[in-house]
Amino acid sequence: MNHIHSFRSDVPDHQEDPWQLKLFRRTLKKQQKLKSLLKLIGPLTDRDTCILVTCGDNNGALNWHFKAHGGSWSWADAEPESSFQIGELTGDHVLTIDKESPQFNVADQSFDVVVTIDIHEHLCATNELNQELARIVKENGRIIVTTPGGDQRKLANKIKNWIGMSTRDYGHVVDGYTCDQLSAQLQSVNLTPVVKSSYSKFFTEMVELAINFAYVKVLARRSAAPVEAGQIAPQSQDQLKSVEKTYRLYSLIYPFIWLISRLDILLPFAEGYAAIVMARKEA
C-alpha cells in the first residue's frame, strides 16, 4: 500500500504514533525534502532494491516514509544515535559508515536506487563516497543526492551568518554544494546527471533558521539530555522531553508557521536553498 501522503501535517496525531512521526508532522523542510524525493523516485515494486544513506539529523521518520512508499529498502547512517533511532522505528538493521572513510559493506551493483540525504557537506573529501555510490548502484540504476545549496550570496544564507549560525553549528565541513557542483562530482565517477532540482525557498529557510537558532543557541544549552555539536533539533525522545513545554507551544503555533512557509509560492522562479541531483549509471 502506498502511503505517500501520510506525512501531511493536517493528519492528526494519535496516542499510539511513535514520537518520531509526531515530530515529523511538525517539520517544514523535511516534509518538502520527502515530497521532492518521492516525486523523483516514483513508483517502486518489492523487486526494486533501494538504500537510504544519512549522516545524523535523522530519527528514522524519513526511513519510515520511504519504506511505506514501496520498494525493498536498506539503511545506512554515520551517527550511532541516528542509527539506533532508525532501527528502533523501522525494525531493520542499519549499516554503519565512517565519515572519514565512507564505505558500504555490500556487494557491487546491489541497488536499483541509492538516495543520500545531506551527507556530502559533512565530509572533508567526497570522492570516496561518490566512488562507493557508483559501485553499489546497478547498471541503469539511479543515484539521488541532496545537500544544502551552499550559495553564500543568497539572502537567507547571509542572514544565517550575520546571526552567528555557523557551519559548525550544523555539523558541516562545508556550507553545501550547488546542483552544478554535485553534478560535476557525480560525473567524475562516471555517473550521468539527468535531473537537477531544489526545494526550500526563502520563507521556509527563514522559519527554519529561527527554529534552529532557538534550539541551538537557547534550548539545547538548557537541555537535561546531552546535545551533541551539530544537532539543530531534538534527535532523541529524551531531548524532546527536555523541551516539552516549548514543543507544546510550537505545536500550537505550527499552523501559522506552516502558512509563513507557504509564502514560498510567491517565488515561483526562485531556486530553492537545498539542492537535489539525480544521476544514472549507464550500462
Residue 160: inside a domain: yes
The b-or-e profile of 147-168 (16+ CB within 10 A means b, else e) is bbbbbeebebbeebeeeebebe
In the chain, the amino acid numbered 41 is I
Please say if the pLDDT value at position 268 is more than 90: yes
pLDDT score for 166: 74
Q: Count of domains in the chain?
A: 1
CATH number at residue 41: 3.40.50.150
Domain with 273, as residue range(s), is 19-280
Strands 94-96 and 72-77: parallel
Quote the strand ranges of 64-136, DSSP E: 72-77, 94-96, 111-117
Which tens digit of pLDDT belongs to each residue from 28-68?
999 999 999 999 999 999 999 999 999 988 999 999 999 99
Residue 13: inside a domain: no
Instruction: Give pTM, 2 decimals.
Output: 0.89
Residue 11: inside a domain: no
Which tens digit of pLDDT belongs to each residue from 12-32?
555 578 999 999 999 999 999
pLDDT score for 15: 58
Bigger pLDDT: 263 or 219? 263
Residue 73: inside a domain: yes
Which tens digit of pLDDT belongs to each residue from 210-233?
988 887 666 655 554 545 555 556
Residue 9: inside a domain: no
Residue 3: inside a domain: no
The three grid cell numbers given for residue 200, joined into one nine-digit string: 526550500
Residue 154: inside a domain: yes
Grade residue 2 by pLDDT with cuts at 50, 70 and 90. very low
Residue 12: inside a domain: no
